[in-house]
Amino acid sequence: MGLKIDDREFRSLWERGDAIAVKSAIWALNRVGRRLRTRSVRGIARQTGIAQKAIRRRVRARPASRRRIRVSLVVYSRPVAAVHAGRVRQTRSGVTAAGRQLPGAFIIEAQHRMAPGRAVVKRKTRARLPLRTETLEIHKTAVEVVQKVIDRAGQQLWAVEFPRILSYNLKRSAGIG
């Protein structure tokens, strides 16, 4: 999912080959990309109830460069382990993670020195082993939220950031301020 810009002023500077405009565009696009990523992560966390830290690992902003004058937000489809979702609690019927009930699941504490930590697991069969790690799917919701954020805020952020950074770079190259 990428941000599409409709800016005639930038196109005319680009066609003239103005190096300052190109540099400013790259800076502005990368800043807009970072802000869109932040807004997307917050929106996904609000909708799903999952901790932002777990979502931040799955939403990336691919930065612009001179070869690629475009910013993309990439949403990875890996599910979130229930133990990392936030607010994990053991209950009588199972586990509650990020406001979701996982009946029959339980929390284990790994004491091994090579892999310490916690996990939310559920038995695959009625036998004691094997165990399955419980996960929460967020990909569909994440894609919808990211697309909505890009559509709503992308153009507005670009309209604010590009002129500001272009002005800054023009003043800097002229030796003013």
* Residue 103 and residue 53 share a domain: no
* Residue 19 and residue 65 share a domain: yes
120 is in which domain, residue-wise?
81-136
* Residue 97 and residue 21 share a domain: no
* Residue 123 and residue 67 share a domain: no
Averages of pLDDT over runs of 10 residues in the chain (177 residues) are 62 73 90 97 96 95 87 93 93 94 93 79 93 94 95 92 91 81
Residue 106 amino acid letter: F
Q: Output Rg (C-alpha) for the chain, integer angstroms.
A: 22
* Residue 144 and residue 101 share a domain: no
pLDDT number for residue 52: 96
Residue 1 in domain = no
pLDDT number for residue 65: 86
pLDDT number for residue 18: 79
With a CB cutoff of 8 Å and minimum separation 6, the contacts of 86 are: 49, 50, 51, 54, 97, 98
Residue 3 in domain = no
Please state whether the predicted TM-score (pTM) of the whole model is above 0.75.
Answer: yes
